[in-house]
Every structure is written in structure tokens, then in C-alpha cells.
Amino acid sequence: MGRIFEVRKSTMFARWDRMAKQFTRIGKEIVIAVKAGGPDPGTNAALRRCFQNARSVGMPKDRVEAAIKRAQGKELINYDEILYEGYAPHGVAILVETATDNHVRTVANVKSHFNKGGGTLGNSGSVSFQFKKMGVFKLKPEGLNAEEMELELIDFGLEELGEGTGENGEDVLVVRCAFADFGNMQKALEDKGISPLSAELEWIPSTTVPVTDEQAEDISKLIERLEQDDDVQKVFHNMG
């Protein structure tokens, strides 16, 4: 087992700004999950994933409960999940996941961010072929035998298992599986009594574009612009 391939992380917000953004993102994900599969986490795997991620970022219980109530309310806001594709400066591919109640506003804002950040918003399919959508689970390594886990999880769709870093730079075990196997992998970990630090669906680049520190700064400014938008959930890139 080696260190798992990870793309260069861009420097994001100050800690409290990042935390507030994470709460908003997970709150939207809870609304979407409840609307699609109901409020019972026992039968709703997507909602269980949201709960895991809420715990991992310290999201208060009352905010989680408020999101569930909002999803069941009479005046429910319907969020549509839309993926935007484009290029940052220096040829780096960008994928932008959004959850929006106003398509016109969102596409106008995303296009503006690309333009002001020196990038270009592309058409559907112009960038996504360079990525693979995968389930990504980050686990505390303490008490886990990676070699045994690798053998046990391969029947549930395991594609990669290796060392990585968590939200605060701590060492973690990273489990990756195909998008279609996310539910199987989630259940396999639950059955083993393993509670992931986070469980996400991520776009993993097949190759990366090497950049200098100066170029990375240009690209990171665009990523930050995008991530600060209220409609943007996550931003992925292939900056190496």
C-alpha cells in the first residue's frame, strides 16, 4: 500500500468562512437526500452519508435537524444539481458542482467567475471526460489493517486504497470505489463497524496538468471565486 494519488490542494478560505460554507453545502445535500429518499437514515444511504459528513465538520445537530424539517416543509425549495465544466488559466480543467433553485442566476454567476478569473466556461462534456466520478471514504487509520481491508473490500467495489490527508492535514486511509459501487462500499464499512471521517462523491482526474507555484496561485484564485458562490457545492480540478 502506498500513498494514494491526490491532486494539489488550493488554499481556500479562512477557517470560519470555510466552516460556514461546509454547513451550507451539507444542508443542501440533506434537503436533496431527504426529498429523494425520505427522512429515515436507516433506509436512506445518501442521508447517512450527509450525517457522516456533518459530524466530520462539526455541524451542530440543530442545523442538521433544521435541514431535515426544511426538506419536509410545505414551502420546500427545490434544488437542481447541475455540473458546469470549463478551463482555468494554464490549461487546467475545472468541474463545478452546483445545487440551485435558479438556473439563470447560477449559470450567469459561474460564467462571470470563469471570465474574471481568467478561465473559460465550456459546454457539457468538454472537460468531464478527463475525470472519473468515484466514491471516496476517508478513515481513521488507528486500529485498521490496510492489507486485510484491501482483501475484504475488493468484493464490494474497491478500486484504490492508500494513505492520504484529511481536512486538517492529518493522516488518513483513503478508500475509493466506482460511483456505482458507493452504496455497496458504504454498507460494507458500516457492517464492519467503521464510521468514515467523510464519505463523498468526487471527480478524480485521470491525469494532471503540472503547474508552477505562480500558476497555481492564478488557478487557486478562480477556484476560490467559484467556491465562495452560494450555489456552488464543490469544485474539482486536475492541477498537478
Domain layout of the chain by residue ranges: 15-72, 80-129+206-237, 130-205
Residue 6 has a pLDDT of 78
pTM for the whole thing? 0.90
Q: Mean pLDDT in the chain?
A: 91
- Output phi, psi for 134, to 5 deg: -135, 155
| Helix, strand, coil distribution of the chain in percent, nearest 5 | 45, 25, 30
Q: Do domains 80-129+206-237 and 130-205 have the same CATH topology?
A: yes
Estimate the crossing angle of helix 213-227 against helix 103-116, to 10 degrees. Answer: 160
DSSP-derived letter for residue 1 is: -
In CATH, what class is 130-205? alpha beta
Q: Are 63 and 28 in contact (CB under 8 A)?
A: no
Please check the confidence at residue 48 and state whether its pLDDT lies above 70: yes
> pLDDT tens digit string along 3-39?
787 777 765 444 556 778 889 999 999 999 999 999 9
Rounded (10°) angle between helices 45-56 and 182-191 = 70
Superfamily per CATH, domain 15-72: Integrase, N-terminal zinc-binding domain (1.10.10.200)
Place of cell 477557517: 15
pLDDT at residue 13, as a whole number: 47
pLDDT tens digits for 99-128?
A: 999 999 999 999 999 999 999 999 999 999
- The pLDDT of residue 19 is 77
Give the end-to-end CA distance of the chain in Å, rounded to a whole number. 21
Question: What is the C-alpha to C-alpha distance for residues 218 and 28, in angstroms, rounded to an integer?
Answer: 29
Residue labelled with grid coordinates 484564485: 221
CATH of region 80-129+206-237, choose from 3.40.50.300, 3.30.70.980, 3.40.309.10, 2.40.50.140:
3.30.70.980
CB contact at 8 A, 239 and 7: yes
pLDDT over 70 for what percent of the chain? 95
CB contact burial 148-175 (16+ within 10 A = b; e otherwise): ebeeebeebbbbbbbebeeeeeeebbbb
